[in-house]
Structures are given as structure tokens and as C-alpha cells.
Amino acid sequence: MAQFQKGIPDISLRQLECFVAVADELQFVRAARRLGMAQPPVSRLIERLERSVGAPLFERGRRGVRLTPVGSAMLAPARRALIEARRAADAARRIAAGESGELSVGFSSSAVYSILPRLLRAYRERYPRVHLTLRELTTAQQLGELEAGTLEVAIGRVSETPASLTSRLVHREPFVAVLPLGHPLAAGATVSLKPLSTAGLIMFPREVAPAFHDRIFSAFRAVGTPPQVREEAAEWHTIVGLVGSGLGVAVAPASLRQLSWAGVEFRPLRDCAARAELFVVWPRDAASPLVKAFLEASPATV
């Protein structure tokens, strides 16, 4: 009879697999065949398991093999241990592949009207087990939180990023004029930038999205008319609302035409070469498997 030892059991998953197979088959040869092993290694693993447990698990006799009371008591927990081990390995594999976990995504408010819904829908179809934490943030907030590590990926209107971050252009669209209903400039099919510059521009503050702000101002300067800003607001829906109230005009990404806002008209700009752009931004050296999977699922659509 094997000599048994006391102490904390040193049990491997392979030993438990052999034990469950022998318990199911009640024969070492059939258990070994089921495991794709030779019979002697199975016997040795069972003997090591019995030494670790400190008691025989099987009665071996002329009539075959049967479980001892100790083996019977151990069978159900052994099955559960194998199931949990497989679950743990599968969970680890999914996380390593970016297929599960939690991902924090920041986004600019205007992205809701263009690429964001399509991007998130495509991502969820490929990775349904990932929980997305979505946060609406200004560009400045996005960059700050990405550098601080409190945000993992962002979709914003940036052109230059700090050295610690990297970005990829994913969407480009023209600008349009946003006018109060019945405004004289809305009489034509298109609008020029020049008359908009003196019509009382409603704009977001530069600190909200510096690069995007400068792109719009550069478009006005390109036609020789620096804009006269009448009001400032940090969100596009606020800007459009102020235009609808007759407080001024605005220049906005064309996708904002999806806003069904009473008292507002949108017109294409005929002399504006600038384009509104959206980028996916993420940490240069700290991209997790979840971020990498997100990037793979969000190709450029420019």
C-alpha cells in the first residue's frame, strides 16, 4: 500500500482529470484512452493524488475498480474544480484577446451625430462581452484623462496629441452654416463664409477643442474675414439652440444636420475647404488588449 503524507495537498489539475476519468470509466485502460494517454502514467498520477489526499480513492480488485468512500466524497468537488479551472482559463484567454472586460471610452458630443453610433455598433457585434463605459468629454478633458490613465481610448476632434498619446483619423466631413429660420443668408442653396463672419458667430471656447477651434478660424481667415464671435457655448446642442433662438449663426460639422431643432436651417458652405475631423486617440505605450481590439474594430471611414 502507498505511504500517505499529511499536510496541505499538492494536487494538480491533471491528477484531477485522471481521477474523474477513472471514476467515470471504472477502468484504468478506458480512462487512459479517453485522456489520450498510456495506462501507466494514469496509474502513477492517481497514486500521487492518493498520497496527497492521504487515503485510497479506488479499490482495485479482480472485479475491477470502484470508488472508496473517500473517492466518492471527492468526485463532485473534483468535477467542480475542473469546471472552474476551464472557466478561469477561458476568461483569461478572452481578456488577453480583448474579448471581455471593461473599456472606458471618451467621446466628443458631436461624434454622436456621425461616426460614434456606427463604430460602437460594429464593436459590440464583435465583442459583446466587453462592458463599455461611455463618457462625454471635451477634447481637453479627453487628452488629460488619457494621460492620467483614467480613460483608455477617446474619439475626439484633435489634430496634435502629446508625445505620450497617438491618434488615427477615422472620420472627415465638411462644415455647414447653421442659421436661424428665415435668416437672409438662408435664401440661397449655399452660403459664403464672408457674410457669416459679421453675422454674430456663436462658437465654443478655444480651450474646449483648440485644434478644432483654430481650424474654423483659419477657414475664415483664408477668405480674408476674421469672424466676430458674439456668444460662446461648450456644447453643440447649446450652440444650435442659441442659433434657433435668433442669437446668431454658427459653423458646424455637417453631421449636426441630424439635429431636428425648431427654428434652425443648415446650408452648405461654398468657399470652405476645411473639414471637420474625428480621431481615435489612445496611450502610445499602454494600449491594453481591449484598446487594441477596439482599434481593430474601428477602421477609418474618411
Gap between the Cα atoms of 94 and 99, Å rounded: 5
Give me the pLDDT at residue 32, please. Answer: 92
- What are the start and end residues of each CATH 1.10.10.10 domain in the chain? 13-96
Using DSSP's 3-state secondary structure scheme, residue 79 falls into: helix
Measuring CA to CA, which residue among 4, 83, 8 is closest to residue 48? 4
pLDDT at 1: 44
Amino acid 269: pLDDT: 94
Q: What single string gives the DSSP state of each residue in 111-145?
A: GGGTTHHHHHHHHHHH-TTEEEEEEE--HHHHHHH
Per-residue pLDDT at 6 exceeds 60: no
The confidence score (pLDDT) of residue 299 equals: 63
Q: What is the pLDDT of residue 30?
A: 92
Return the percentage of the chain with pLDDT > 90, whole number. Answer: 43
Q: What's the longest Cα–Cα distance across the chain?
A: 104
Mean pLDDT calculated for residue range 30-38: 92
* pLDDT greater at residue 75 or residue 102: 75
What is the pairing mode between strands 165-180 and 264-268?
antiparallel
Q: How far is CA 64 from the centre of its chain?
A: 56
**Spatial contact of 113 and 254, defined as CB atoms under 8 Å apart:** no
Please name the CATH architecture into which domain 13-96 falls: Orthogonal Bundle (1.10)
d(CA 215, CA 217): 6
Residues 19 and 74: their CA atoms lie apart, in Å, by 9
Task: Tell me the pLDDT tens digit for each residue of 134-182.
Answer: 999 988 899 999 999 899 999 988 877 888 999 999 999 999 999 999 9
* CA separation for the pair 200, 267 (Å, rounded): 16
Q: Is pLDDT above 70 for 123? A: yes
Q: Give the CA angle between residues 257, 266, 187 to the nearest 5°.
A: 160
Q: E strands along the chain, which residues? A: 58-61, 64-67, 101-107, 130-136, 153-156, 165-180, 201-203, 229-232, 250-253, 264-268, 275-283
Confidence (pLDDT) at 4: 47
Distance CA 186, CA 172 (A): 25
pLDDT over 70 for what percent of the chain? Answer: 93
Least confident of 4-8, 15-19, 20-24: 4-8
Torsion of CA 13, 19, 24, 27, to 10 degrees: 140
* The dihedral sign for the CA sequence 289, 293, 296, 301: negative
Whether 226 has a pLDDT exceeding 80, the answer reads yes
All cell numbers assigned to 182: 428665415
Domain 101-302, CATH 3.40.50.620 — does that match?
A: no
Helix, strand, or coil (residue 46): helix
| 2 has pLDDT over 70 | no
Rounded Cα distance, 256 and 275, in Å: 14
**Average pLDDT value for the chain:** 87
pLDDT given at position 190: 93
**Structure confidence by residue, pLDDT tens digits, 240-286:** 999 999 999 999 999 888 877 788 999 999 988 889 889 999 998 86
The confidence band for 38, taking pLDDT boundaries of 50, 70 and 90, is very high
Give the residue range(s) of CATH 3.40.190.290 domains in the chain: 101-302
CA distances from 188 to 175, 265, 269 (A): 17, 11, 11
Which phi and psi angles does 65 have, rounded to 5°? Answer: -120, 140
Give the pLDDT band (50/70/90) at residue 88. Answer: confident
Cell numbers linked to 97 = 484577446
Distance CA 222, CA 230 (A): 20
Average pLDDT rounded to a whole number, residues 29-58 = 92
Q: Taking residues 176-192, what's their average pLDDT?
A: 93
